[in-house]
Every structure is written in structure tokens, then in C-alpha cells.
Amino acid sequence: MMGAGGSESRTGIRKPCPSALSWTGNALCPPLPLDLTAWISLQWSWAMCSGKLQTGLLVAGYFIYLLVGAAVFQALERTAEKQQKMAAAQMKEAFLQNFPHLTVAEMEQFMKNLTEAIQNGVYPVGNESQTENSNWDFSNSFFFAGTVVSTIGYGTLRPKTAGGQIFCVFFALFGIPLNIVFLHRVGKMLSLLCKKLGKFLYEKGMRKKKIKFLTLLFFLATGILVFLCLPSLFFQITEGWSYSEGIYFAFITLSTIGFGDYVVGKQPGRIYFSYYRTLVAIWILFGLAWIALLFNLLTTVLEDTEKIIVKDLHQIVKHIRIKGSLPTTVPEGKSKAHPPAPFPPMCIFISAVHIAVCHIPGELRNTPVSPG
């Protein structure tokens, strides 16, 4: 007797037959009636086991993240940009009306020269450009050297001479690897503080999971306070920025994005104390080490989240198969363990929190140590 999805011999044994929902490379008629949703979920689960599809999903997710970010930035910034362009056009028109002897071409050339001067680090406000203050004094030069090896590159200060440009190339060629080694060493020093805290709490009889959570909290809270919150308050006082602008500058700098829209020691009319930018350069170097550990932590959380989710899903599918709602027969060459359909977002979030508490990456992973 022929069934809808296959054939059955006189002995009552079902034989494999073609099916629209079949395993890759082999057709399989399930020995038990299957719910269509469960079958599709199983097919999707098998695809999830494929490294190619996982890579494809990662690439898709990466570009979706960029597209969403682009849409948000466009919604937030496009209107403000339009208003700024209108204000600039009105200012140019008013300037020409106040000085009718100037032609449009002359004014455009004048504004072009001012723009180039600002881009080269010269702010032609008042008599500042005529003073003896140099953008290449030792403090500013030290700050520039730090931005080169850290790859921040604000772009507001850069060498103009051929000799300076060639030296910058070789200075960065050897300085960037040296900076990486330096940051790695500083990162170990920072993680040592967490280890000492873990040892202290261990000696007090605290449980290991609680120790990991507290050391992680200490690492995050201390770093945010020392490298983001307090410096932002300092910049608010010294540079005249708002506190949110200080936070923005601190993170953009320490993450080595370095747009160059905010740069320390460049506000016209402000007097800065000696070696101010040198002090900022030192803050940047230690802050880079902290934020590198933070990014390493977040990366490990994401990677370990995937591993834990896959492991949990294997257990879920195994539990479902035991109840008979998924096929117990698999094609030749396939594993009996199948990952199920995509995990609910809330479960992913809970798994991420679990990893953040129980799986600290790198030097922080082994924080709890036994006495002695």
C-alpha cells in the first residue's frame, strides 16, 4: 500500500523514498509521523551544524548590524547637518552683504584658506596664529607620537615635511608592535589587581562563582571610573566641554577610533598647564590596556555564548527525540546529535549573563587562587 510520502513493502517495513523534506544527499521517509514544524526545525538544525552556513550567518549578522547602525546615525544626524548647511549659507550671504566690495570667488578662497589652516592644526582666531606657541613643542610631539603607535590618528596634527613623513612611517612600523607588547604587559598588571582581590576573597571563605562575579564587577567599575568617568570630568573643567562630550571623547580615543572632532589642548583662548597633553597621552596608554581587556571579555562572552547555546540545544533535541517527536533514524554518515532550531532571545541573553559571571577571559579567568 502506497503512502503519501513513501512506500511500504508486504512485510510492513518502510523503505526510504523521495521526499520534499529530505536529508542533504539522501532521501529519508521518517519511521514515525512527524509534525511539519518539528521536521523543518530539524532540517534547519542540521544546516546550523554546517560551518559554511554559520559563517554566512555571521557575515549576514555583521552587515545587518552595520546597516542598522547606518540607519540610526542617518536618522539622528541628517537633520542636524541640513540645519548646519543652511546656517553656513546664511552666514556667507550675510557676510557678502556686509562687505559688498568682496566677490564670491574671493570670499570662497578666503574660507578655503581658513579651512586648510584649521585642518593643519592652526586656529586663526585672534592673534593665536602669530604667537610663538608651536604645535610641535615637546609636549605636543609626545602626544603625537602616542597617537601614532596607538593607531588613534586624530588627523589634526600630522607631519608636513618629507623627512617627517618618512620618519613617521618607520616610527609606526616598529612602534605599533612595541605598543602591542607594552599594552599586553600593562594588561597583565591590571589583571594582577583582580587576582589579588580574588585571593583575598578566597581566603575569606567566599565561593568561587561569587569571587568571579565580584572580580569582574571590580574590573568593570574601576575601569569605567578611572578611565572614563573621572577623565571626562577633568576634560569638562579643562576643555570647557559638556560631560557627555567628555565621555564621548574618552571612549572614541581609547577605542582608537579617533575621529579628530574633539582633541585636547586645542580650544582657542584657553590656557593649559605645562605638559597637559603629555599627561593625557599617559592616560591614553593605560586606558588602551584596560579597554583591550574589556573588548577581549566581550568577545569571549559572545564566543562562549554560542558554544553553551549549541550544547544546551543538543540536550533539548536529545530530550525531544527520546519522546518520539523527532526521527530516531538518521542517514548514513550523519551524527545522531542534532542541534535544534534557533534559541529564544531571552535564553541567549541569560546564557550571556551566565558566561559573563562564570567565564572571565584571559588573565581574569583564573582569578580565584588557593592560598599560598
Q: What is the pLDDT of residues 205-255, one digit of tens each?
A: 888 888 888 888 888 999 999 999 999 999 999 999 999 999 999 999 999
305 φ/ψ angles, rounded to the nearest 5 degrees = -60, -45
Range of the domain at 235: 169-364
Coil/strand/helix, residue 23: strand
pLDDT exceeds cutoff 60 at 31: no
For residue 271, tell me if it sits in a domain.
Answer: yes
Instruction: Tell me if 347 sits within 8 A of 177, measured CB to CB.
Output: no
Name 278's Cβ contacts closer than 8 Å, sequence gap at least 6: 139, 142, 143
Give the C-alpha separation, 250 to 287, whole Å. 9
Cell readout for 108 is: 570662497
For residue 155, tell me if it sits in a domain.
Answer: no
For residue 292, tell me if it sits in a domain.
Answer: yes
Cell readout for 109 is: 578662497
Q: How far is CA 208 from the centre of its chain?
A: 29
For residue 14, tell me if it sits in a domain.
Answer: no
Cell readout for 114 is: 581658513
Give the C-alpha separation, 367 to 352, whole Å. 19
For residue 71, tell me if it sits in a domain.
Answer: no
Give the C-alpha separation, 209 to 368, whole Å. 9
Mean of pLDDT values over 335-354: 46
pLDDT, tens digit (0-9, with 9 covering 90-100), for 117-174: 777 777 776 665 555 677 888 888 998 999 999 988 887 788 989 999 999 999 999 9
Please give the angle made by the CA atoms of 246, 249 and 254, to the nearest 5 degrees. 125
pLDDT of residue 234: 94
pLDDT of residue 122: 75
The share of the chain scoring above pLDDT 70, in percent, equals 66
pLDDT exceeds cutoff 50 at 313: yes
Give the C-alpha separation, 346 to 303, whole Å. 17
H-only helix segments in the chain: 36-48, 51-98, 104-119, 138-149, 162-203, 208-224, 230-239, 243-254, 276-322, 345-358
pLDDT of residue 337: 47
Give the C-alpha separation, 198 to 213, whole Å. 10
For residue 234, tell me if it sits in a domain.
Answer: yes
Q: How far is CA 22 from the centre of its chain?
A: 40
For residue 194, tell me if it sits in a domain.
Answer: yes
Instruction: Tell me if 307 sits within 8 A of 243, measured CB to CB.
Output: no
Give the C-alpha separation, 351 to 343, whole Å. 11
Mean of pLDDT values over 278-293: 90
Name 216's Cβ contacts closer than 8 Å, sequence gap at least 6: 297, 356, 357, 360, 364
- Give the residue with greater pLDDT, 343 vs 216: 216
pLDDT of residue 302: 77
Instruction: Tell me if 343 sits within 8 A of 272, measured CB to CB.
Output: no
The rounded radius of gyration (Å) of the Cα atoms in the chain is 31
CA distances, 349 to each of 162, 294, 305, 353, 355 (Å): 53, 18, 9, 6, 10
Q: Pick from 335, 338, 332, 320: which is nearest to 35 by CA?
A: 320
pLDDT, tens digit (0-9, with 9 covering 90-100), for 58-98: 788 889 989 999 999 999 999 999 999 999 889 888 888 88
CATH number, domain containing residue 227: 1.10.287.70
Conformation bin of residue 151: beta by default, left when phi > 0, alpha when psi is -120 to 50: left
Unique residue bearing C-alpha cell 564587577: 217
pLDDT, tens digit (0-9, with 9 covering 90-100), for 179-197: 999 988 888 888 888 888 8
Give the C-alpha separation, 140 to 124, whole Å. 18
Instruction: Tell me if 216 sits within 8 A of 357, measured CB to CB.
Output: yes
Cell readout for 241 is: 566641554
Q: Pick from 352, 368, 334: which is nearest to 25 by CA?
A: 334
List the beta bridge partners of residue 14.
8
252 φ/ψ angles, rounded to the nearest 5 degrees = -60, -35
pLDDT of residue 11: 47
For residue 112, tell me if it sits in a domain.
Answer: no
Global pTM reads: 0.64
pLDDT of residue 77: 93
Give how many domains the chain has, as a whole number: 1
